Amino acid sequence: MRLLLVATLLAVPTVQACPLQADDGTLVQQGQVQLAWRSTPAPMLNGQPFVLQVQVCPKDAVLRRVDATMPDHRHGMNYRPTLKALEPGAWQVDGMLWHMAGRWELRWDVQHLGRTEVLRTSVMLRP
């Protein structure tokens, strides 16, 4: 009976602990996926290109897409960013540029365990 219990416990998938932390609101979570990001330069400026450094947890999750829209204006960016895997769980997003001030919504599509989790966060870009 004990052997059966141990075998059953080993067969149950466990959720990998996510050690990501961010004190500035740049941490988002959806389902079992957690994502932390920061921009370079910080803060992001109107009409200036910036790069995003992204950490995803669990580390076997894959960042598939990053986009940004202005929900109040009903449009997105004029550029398509590119993703570059740096190491498991770490990504760089190049080609980001917000062409006007206002509320932007960042959208992150992360694939994990055969599902795509959509994570969103709002950013207010000052003039």
C-alpha distances in Å from residue 125, one per residue of 5, 20, 31, 48, 99: 54, 25, 28, 11, 10
Q: Is residue 60 domain-resident?
A: yes
The answer to whether residue 43 sits within a structural domain is yes
Q: Domain count of the chain?
A: 1
Question: Which CATH number characterizes residue 97's domain?
Answer: 2.60.40.1930
Q: Is residue 17 part of a domain?
A: no
| Prediction pTM value | 0.80
For residue 1, being part of any structural domain is answered with: no
Q: Which residue do the tokens 């450094």 mark?
A: 53
Q: Is residue 15 part of a domain?
A: no
Residue 59 is assigned to a structural domain of this protein? yes
Distance CA(26)–CA(32), nearest Å, equals: 17
Q: Mean pLDDT for each 10-residue chunk of the chain (127 residues)?
A: 38 51 79 93 89 95 97 93 96 95 96 96 91
Task: Show the domain range for 101.
Answer: 25-125
